[in-house]
Amino acid sequence: MKKLFTLILLATLFVSCSSDDDNDIEPKQDYTSFVVTVETSNVLKNCVAGYYTKDGKCKKLGDLGELTKGVYSPEIRVDIDTLTRVYFFTNTTMWWRSKNPHILTKNQKNVIIIDNNTSGIEVSDWPE
């Protein structure tokens, strides 16, 4: 009986002392923000982050500047609590934006990666 009790106690201690695998989860913060980086060899100039209002107007969230491979944009803080869909705009050779929005996770610093798989469309509206 004593051996059984010791075995149960050791098993309980072993399980309770095991490490958690939550190291890859982004830390929470009290606001939503994002940075943008590119994984292509192209230099993207005049980069802007924006969104569309319910009535279809294109609004600017912030200037991202010139983006080059491996360099992160300035952090853009999102002050609109309900905003979750962000578009990436650039004017390198034409007015262009990401075809699909980037979905933000609330209360987290999101990382938006522009790579060769990011599709875009030519646009005439530019975030104001």
Residue for token pair 């072993």:
14
Task: Tell me the pTM.
Answer: 0.74
| Residues in the chain where the model's pLDDT stays below 70 | 1-26
Q: What is the pLDDT of residue 107?
A: 95
Q: DSSP letters of 20-40? A: PS-TTSPPB-SSEEEEEEE-S
Tokens representing residue 94 in the block: 């034409």
Structure tokens belonging to residue 63 = 């200037």
The answer to whether 99 and 123 have CB atoms below 8 angstroms apart is: no
Q: What is the pLDDT, as a whole number, of residue 93?
A: 76
**Domains of the chain, earliest start first:** 22-122 (2.60.40)
